[in-house]
Amino acid sequence: MVLIAQVIGTIYGLLAVVFGAFGAHILKKTFTSDQLTSFETGVKYQMYHAMVLLMLSFNLNLSTPLQKYMIFAFIVGTVLFSFSIYGLCLTSLKGKKWKFLGPITPLGGLLLVTGWALLFYYFIKSFV
């Protein structure tokens, strides 16, 4: 599980830099300010969670069920949250916004919140 978190964290980080540059240099000319802000939100959350995955993978052994669920929530939540935002923004450029992605974004956000809640529980479980 450690290697999976490290590989996916690295891929998320790499793609966040690429997508951020793409947004800043190419999409900036075609997106509205609202679309650009949404796209940037996806990039930021992707990078934040890339760093979380890397930090956790280097500091925890990720072998307990709690740790595995936490990592799963961060990995899947990031895909659902950030990539649904990218899809919504990019498809709206051609006037054919993929509206089915709309409900996926909050589901991804819920998984990210779940990952953070599990991390919080991991830290306080010895006191409870």
Q: Which residue has the tokens 């978190």?
A: 5
Residues 6+ apart with CB under 8 A from 23: 31, 36, 39, 40, 43
Hey, how many other C-beta atoms are within 10 angstroms of the C-beta on 25? 9
- For 74-93, the pLDDT digits (tens) are 999 999 999 999 999 999 98
- For 21-77, the pLDDT digits (tens) are 999 999 988 999 999 999 999 999 999 999 999 999 999 999 999 999 999 999 999
Question: DSSP code of 24?
Answer: H
Task: State the pTM of this model.
Answer: 0.94
The two tokens of residue 35 are 């679309």
What average pLDDT does range 105-125 have in this prediction? 97
In three-state secondary structure terms, 94 is coil
Q: Is 3 exposed, middle or buried (0-12, 13-18, 19+ CB in 10 A)?
A: exposed
Q: Is 19 exposed, middle or buried (0-12, 13-18, 19+ CB in 10 A)?
A: buried
Q: Is the pLDDT of residue 95 over 90?
A: no
Does residue 114 contact residue 78 with C-beta atoms inside 8 Å?
no
**pLDDT value at position 68?**
97
pLDDT-derived band at 94, boundaries 50, 70, 90: confident
**pLDDT value at position 80?**
98
What average pLDDT does range 82-107 have in this prediction? 93
Does residue 118 contact residue 73 with C-beta atoms inside 8 Å?
yes
